[in-house]
Amino acid sequence: MASATFRGVEGRQITIPTGLFIDNEFVPALSGATLDVENPNTATHLATVSAAQKEDVDRAVDSSEKAFATWKKSDPSTRRAFLNKLADLVEEHGPELSSLEALESGILYKDSLGLHVGQSVENLRYFAGWADKLDGTTLLIPQGLAYTRREPIGVCAAIVPWNSLMILFWKLAPAIAAGNTLIIKTAELTPLWGQKVGELVKKAGFPPGVINIIPGLGNVAGQALTEHPRVRKISFTGSTPTGRKILQAAARTNLKKVSLELGGKGPSIVFDDADWDNALLWTTIGITASNGEICIAGSRIYVQDTIYEKFLVEFSKRSRDAVQGDPLLAETTKGAVASKAQLDKILSYVEKGKKSGARLLNGGERLPGDGYFVANTAFADVGQHDAIMQEEIFGPFASIAPFSTEEEVIAKANDSNYGLGSAVFTNNVSRAMRVTEALETGTITVNCWGLVHANTPFGGVKESGFGRDMGLEALEGWTSTKTVKYNILK
């Protein structure tokens, strides 16, 4: 099978196969279809990989279905051992995974290694521990006894986004721990780290077909998975419009189970009693980490009017300066955004912000160089119904507005179609309790932003989707409850 070679961190040579990972082998697409992968940091060709078509999805489903017949009966301790082995390998090969992610998406190597790889390992080990603890309950019924069993769903699929390799493991770990087999479709922009994961799955010793990984276009391979009559569940992270299409496909085919983690327009609320430096630190990180290409980005910032102007000055100072360049280098603090299309989208919202009359604090332009670099951007005095306050931009783009009262800011924060994440900054515990209870988001952080942990569920409400990754709640999405009732004859 063909392969591609790259130069990663510190000149490390990385070679990966470029085929579809089906049945523990890398194979070309039956039609020979391929995808070209670009390096957004240089706007140059990076690699060519096989692109799954409908017939290749059928091959993957056949493989997963065959594997499920025995995998579902595997002892939980066996699944635990495989997941722990994979965790060890992901940790060992972290520099390669993070190098690939930096090359194909522009994320900083140090951020990928510290967060994405770290979270991947944590989730694998966390759900490995759950493999032998998926218990049912015993229930008393008139004239008998009943009990429930938590059983795997069957052949499942995960469609993962281009902005983070850890999301693949948010789905893989609970799916496999529960006894399912899993087909993973990686994003067309960033399939390379998925190819490396396939190598590690095989090295960990998983039986063929338990985990298949197929790069491909969303409207080809992704659509084939969502419409496939033998795929019993789809877990998707991505845009809200695509989530709607997946729900429609599930409804008109086999009513497969669906979980969706979709877009966001996260509010960060700064009260005047908040710790000043801490609030500035986390609101800055919340919109500049990963170039703001995060669904939970704190892209709406509401600041109490008594500290508003002072906050604008300090926030602009902290957010506007960045060292752009090669994301593999330690000194770089800003890589490229993931594609030319993403760059153009961000710049189009700059024009919308200017036309709306909002005050441009900093940024708003493409940075020099061959890659898709854009300046950290912040607008102040943004109207509540302006496009830059209501629509997901997915870039380093902050929209800031003042508020006077607690009631006012709760209403503004909830005035959104999205409900993924939010952050509250205050030293008043009673206020924090009131505001967190009132906010309509699936995750809320207090005096910090965006922290993720394997044991805490993550997901949204409203048009940010439903279902949860991570935590015990994630396992509910990867299992089915069977009830058994005995009539006790006397």
pLDDT the model gives residue 368:
94
Any idea what DSSP says for residue 338? S
The number of residues making up the chain comes to 490
pTM, entire model: 0.97
Q: Which pair of tokens denotes residue 18?
A: 């470029």
Any idea what DSSP says for residue 472? H
Distance separating alpha carbons of residues 11 and 238, to the nearest angstrom: 33
Q: Which of 101, 295, 392, 463 is catalytic?
A: 295
Burial zone of 27 (CB within 10 Å; 0-12 exposed, 13-18 middle, 19+ buried): middle
pLDDT the model gives residue 490:
80
Q: How far is CA 329 from CA 44, 100, 106, 320, in A?
A: 18, 13, 12, 20
**What are the mean pLDDT values of the chain's consecutive 10-residue runs (490 residues total)?**
93 97 98 98 98 98 98 97 98 98 98 98 98 95 95 98 96 98 98 98 98 98 98 98 97 98 98 98 97 97 98 96 95 97 98 98 96 98 98 98 98 98 98 98 97 97 98 97 94
Active site residue 92: no
Any idea what DSSP says for residue 9? G
Q: Which pair of tokens denotes residue 388?
A: 């830059």
Q: In the block, which residue shows the tokens 């795997």?
A: 152
Active site residue 448: no
Q: Which of 38, 101, 227, 261 is catalytic?
A: 261
pLDDT the model gives residue 1:
67
Any idea what DSSP says for residue 178? T
